[in-house]
Structure 1
Amino acid sequence: MIVVVIGEHKALEEGGELHGKTVYLFGSTEPQLLDVNGESKIVLIPIVVAVDCPFPPSDKIGINSVQRENEEIVPMKAMKMAWVPYVPLEDRLSRIDSLKPKIFTLGCT
């Protein structure tokens, strides 16, 4: 399994580093201390993480915060989350099972 933080938006397109691979994508933010108008501020930078793997990452989620004493590990289903196939806009009227998707995103309902 290879985890890549996508730095270029064309990594999944033809000729890109991840093109044709089975990839699981999710977004997050990375806090950075930046100088904003002469003042140091924490800025949340959005990132996309790609997991290059032939099988899905864990179906468990770890929940932790400063208010919690311990980390809680729960199934993704309990949080209404799942790995959902990405279907390009031009293919959205097709049957998903006939597309054999290779890109999955972390979905939440």
Structure 2
Amino acid sequence: MSRIITVTAASIIAALSLAGTSHATMLPADRALAADHNPRILVMNTDEIEKHDMFQDTLNALSPASPEVRGVQEAIRENPALKHELLAQHVELNNVIFADEAADGSFVLYIR
């Protein structure tokens, strides 16, 4: 019985540590987005992602008041060039819910 408890506790700790790691990987994109003076961006609507994709489910689960969403929106407001570019594309800043940095240094911004 104690082995089952030990294995269960180890599994929970491992799951929590992975969840913390995935959360931490989102923050550098926000910082890079705020600091980039000439960002290359692609704006993508969450409806354009394949149905039943786990990433789409994750994005749809984000509430407008969540720290991740507020962090992305704050990073956009801190970057005047990015803010101007998004407004020129008629993107409402409150609709941006997630930012992802690509390997080439550009950013993908997901909107609702």
Measured against the shorter chain, the TM-score band is under 0.3
Question: Looking at both structures, which has the greater relative contact order when contacts are Cα pairs under 8 Å and sequence separation is at least 6?
Answer: 2
Give the TM-score normalised by structure 1: 0.21
Give the TM-score normalised by structure 2: 0.21
More strand by share: 1
